[in-house]
Amino acid sequence: MAQTAPVNLSIGKKGAINMKKFDYHTHNGYSRCVKAPWKIIAGWKVAKSKGIEKLGVTNHVHFNHPEQHYLTHLRKEIQEINEDGLLLGVELDIDSPDGQNVLKKETYAIIDYVIAAPHNQPTDFLNNFDFDKEDEEAYFSDLKKILTMAMKQIQFDIWAHPFLQELNKLDLRYWDIYLEDIFMDCLEICVNRGIAIEITAQWHKEYSRPKKNTWYPEMTISKELYEIINKMYKIAADNKDIKFSLASDSHSLQHIGDISVPLFYVEKLHISDDRILEIEKKS
């Protein structure tokens, strides 16, 4: 039987009712990854039908082609709908070890918030080719620089899908060898800079790593990956100064507001409601 988007993750009813239901990471167009662009008004209706109180539209601003002029049109679209729960953000590529920011001042002036993550790491190279220890070390030392420099220098609010690319594509033993240490360093900067950690539904999507040893009928990921994700979020949850952001990372109308996976981790790790990031609309 084909496994589909995450549902029924055994979220206790009491917890689910009291939790904040925000979806701060969705894509409605302006990128090749969105196959069927949707209007924000249609997205807002879907979000409300799923009990989502705040919805953020966060299309990409790419590192190599940082087109961002389209955001003025989206701001207008959102202003016309005029709902307090509807926000305009961007998903910013951070791909430079020098912490270079491709987001313009004018853009900051019209958006409500920024989520950021690297997207162009050479994981396929590391995965598919014969590489030695030196290549491996270079990859992770670059990744650490990219993340820490961006967190120190660029104004953003949410670290989107931490290590999604690495944990989905590379050998999971890298968590112990490199990623956990990088995560600890990043968390410290996140505390100082007020950057929230995103809990994303992406981990459980169909195109995640092969489903061998799937541990739980509703979960579409391996037990091995689940344990690492759980550990990562637990480290963050144990640091009381860290806030979290919930994300469907939906690229289609039907998946807007699908935050049952993030809510599952929130409940499992006893993350209190006041630690769920709440963003106010600017204008």
Q: Which residues bind Zn ion (CB under 5 A)?
A: 91, 249
Which of 23/267 has CB closer to Zn ion? Answer: 23
Beta strands in the chain (DSSP E): 22-23, 54-61, 86-93, 113-117, 158-159, 196-200, 244-247
Which of 154/267 has CB closer to Zn ion? Answer: 154
What minimum distance in Å lies between the beta carbon of 266 and Zn ion? 19
What minimum distance in Å lies between the beta carbon of 52 and Zn ion? 17
What minimum distance in Å lies between the beta carbon of 94 and Zn ion? 11
What minimum distance in Å lies between the beta carbon of 119 and Zn ion? 6
Q: Where are the alpha helices (DSSP H) in 194-281?
A: 223-238, 260-268
What minimum distance in Å lies between the beta carbon of 141 and Zn ion? 22
Chain centroid to Cα 283, Å, comes to 24
Task: Identify the CA nearest to 168 among candidates 129, 206, 214.
Answer: 206
In sequence order, the β-bridge partners of residue 57 are 88
In sequence order, the β-bridge partners of residue 113 are 89
CB 236, CB 12: distance < 8 Å: no
Q: Is 140 helix (H, G, I), strand (E, B) or coil?
A: helix
Which of 23/91 has CB closer to Zn ion? Answer: 91
What minimum distance in Å lies between the beta carbon of 33 and Zn ion? 8
Which of 24/140 has CB closer to Zn ion? Answer: 24
What minimum distance in Å lies between the beta carbon of 93 and Zn ion? 8
CB 56, CB 85: distance < 8 Å: no
Which of 15/29 has CB closer to Zn ion? Answer: 29
Measured N-to-C along each axis, helices 260-268 and 223-238 cross at an angle, to the nearest 10 degrees, of: 60
* Length reported for the chain: 283
Which of 52/267 has CB closer to Zn ion? Answer: 52
End-to-end CA distance of the chain: 47
CA contacts within 13 A on the Cβ side of 216: 15
Query: In what side-by-side order are the strands of the sheet with 113-117?
Result: 22-23, 54-61, 86-93, 113-117, 158-159, 196-200, 244-247
Which of 59/222 has CB closer to Zn ion? Answer: 59
Residue nearest to Zn ion (CB): 249
What minimum distance in Å lies between the beta carbon of 246 and Zn ion? 13
Which of 13/35 has CB closer to Zn ion? Answer: 35
